[in-house]
Amino acid sequence: MRSKLVIGLTGGIGCGKSAVAELFAEQGISIVDTDQIARQLTAAGEPALAAIAYGFGAEFLLPDGELDRSRLRHLIFSSPEAKEKLEAILHPLIRDEVKRRLALTQSPYAMVAVPLLLETGAYRDIAQRILVVDCGEAQQVERVVARNGLDEAEVHAIMAHQLSRQERLRQADDIVDNHGTRPALSPQVKRLHLRYLELAASQG
């Protein structure tokens, strides 16, 4: 028997990856979310947080011992060296946890949500298909400003570190159009779910 079908879910910031992941979860599909894993690994008391504090300095910890995520985010977007340093700490730990969780999944296929899947290529050996959630760049900015309270310049700085919309679409095997409202996502997800069930059955 071949390995389980794994779908890589990605998209630019604000495109709606989380909403799409939730809809697949409602279909009974296991979702392994690398952002969620990263937050858990960097919680107070976790070894990854100690490594970050050692590598970057205690000033990146809040008084309660939690990670000062805002301060760290500003640093890594302004310093490629700091970004590489953080990735060297976190990426191996995240990847190990992704593989552990995938091994435990019971659904017919599994989905790994990775914001920078195409930029890093880190999970291309795990995901057999790439699903891109797409929307317009102006919508990305509007959604992130409303959701995260960042200003437009900060959102554009984040987007500058991601692939262009055109390049993401070029590399996609499948696309969910999220230009509209959340209810418009459901029929697209259901169609893809049926397709993935067929693919999973054919490679089982």
Q: Give pLDDT tens digits for 71-89.
A: 998 898 788 899 899 999 9
Residues 6+ apart with CB under 8 A from 35: 113, 115
Residue 64: the pLDDT is 92
Whole-angstrom distance, CA of residue 175 vs CA of residue 160: 21
Residue 1: the pLDDT is 35
User: Shortest CA distance to 9 belongs to which of 84, 112, 92, 96?
Assistant: 112
Residue 204: the pLDDT is 63
Residue 180: the pLDDT is 82
Cβ–Cβ contacts within 10 Å for residue 85, how many? 16
Q: Enumerate the β-bridge partners of residue 111.
A: 7, 31
Look up residue 157 and give its two tokens. Answer: 């700085």
Domain spans of the chain? 1-29+107-204, 40-106
- Cα-Cα-Cα-Cα torsion 182, 18, 125, 128, nearest 10 degrees, comes to -20
Burial of 32 (0-12, 13-18, 19+ CB in 10 A): buried
Residue the block writes with tokens 């296929």: 109
Cβ–Cβ contacts within 10 Å for residue 193, how many? 18
Using DSSP's 3-state secondary structure scheme, residue 126 falls into: coil
Whole-angstrom distance, CA of residue 177 vs CA of residue 191: 13
Residue 73: the pLDDT is 85
Helix-strand-coil percent breakdown of the chain, rounded to 5?
Answer: 60, 10, 30
The rounded Cα 179 to chain-centroid distance in angstroms is 19
Residue 109: the pLDDT is 97
- Cα-Cα-Cα-Cα torsion 120, 124, 125, 131, nearest 10 degrees, comes to 150
Residue 79: the pLDDT is 86
Ranges in the chain, pLDDT < 70: 1-2, 204
The CATH code of domain 1-29+107-204 reads: 3.40.50.300
